[in-house]
Amino acid sequence: MEKNLDAYKQYIDLGINYAATYGVKIILALLIFFIGKRIARLITNLAVKALKKQDVDIELIGFLDSLLYWGLFAVVIIAALGQLGIQTASFVAILGAAGLAIGLALQGSLSNFAAGVLIILLRPFRVGDFVEVADTSGAVNNIRIFTTELRTGDNKAVIIPNARVLDSNIINYSSTGRRRVDLVIGIGYNDDIDHARNVLNGVIAKDSRILKDPEPVVAINQLADSRVNFVVRPWVRSDDYWAVHNDLLENIKKQFDAHNISIPFPQRVVTTVTEEK
């Protein structure tokens, strides 16, 4: 009977020793876990609010929300396990190796994702802008995490991987709000230059869509082989560019016809030399 009591006392003492040794560690580990989890969510919520204030794309916000939270949560778990005395170095190494393997397997997708994040943050263009990227011109219809969709003039949807978008030159025709129409109009060498200039200025003055500032330019820039070339360079709002471009060409032709100003086509004079026998 006394032996059994001694055995019980030994078990009780052992339990008390374990409780004294590991109880504090377990309590600290639980505190680290629950408090760390709350802090991770708090940091994530603050980051999401900051991104929303910057008008970041909602799809990117959702992705970064999950990525940041689970990354911080993983750190909390590792810290809690370390408080319990569990060696976390091998655990971290396994996570690192898994992350590297996944990164190599998804290298192309990750490059598109990284490019998508940069496009959304840096905003070289916005939805609705008319751009030229990756040898394609069109209006930006959608900006996603991995791809950008353009809508061409003939209503084709062109989906471009974001990595290709950033690897190419980006020409944004809408970012400044106005564009210059560049036309080259030729007249014959026998036509009156001042009269032709007045006609061109008159066509420009009649179009209310053409901006007064900057002032339109009408000037001679070349004495070509068969004609005298004027440059006609008015400024318009970006949305009016093609309409003004096409209307100017039509109206200039009509006014030149009305004022007997020729628009010469390329021509050559061929002289035949006959050798005498």
Per-domain residue ranges for the chain?
Answer: 2-105, 124-172, 178-258
Helix and strand tally (H, E) in the chain? Answer: 7, 10
Q: What pLDDT was estimated at residue 28?
A: 80
Q: Are 28 and 61 in contact (CB under 8 A)?
A: no
What backbone phi and psi angles, to 5 degrees, belong to 237?
A: -65, 150
Q: What pLDDT was estimated at residue 233?
A: 96
Contacts of 133 (CB under 8 A, 6+ apart): 148, 150, 160, 164, 165, 168, 169, 170, 171
Residues pairing with 264 in the sheet = none
Q: What pLDDT was estimated at residue 277?
A: 57
Give the SS3 label for residue 240.
helix
Please check whether the two domains, 2-105 and 178-258, share a CATH topology. Answer: no
Mean pLDDT in consecutive groups of 10 residues from the start of the chain, 277 residues = 56 59 73 85 85 69 73 81 69 62 57 82 86 91 86 90 90 89 94 95 94 94 91 93 94 95 78 69
CATH number, span 178-258: 3.30.70.100
124-172, CATH topology level: SH3 type barrels. (2.30.30)
Q: Are 58 and 45 in contact (CB under 8 A)?
A: no
What backbone phi and psi angles, to 5 degrees, belong to 124?
A: -70, -20
What's the full length of the chain, in residues? 277
For 148, the enclosing helix (H) or strand (E) is strand 147-151
2-105, CATH topology level: Helix Hairpins (1.10.287)
Q: What pLDDT was estimated at residue 262?
A: 92
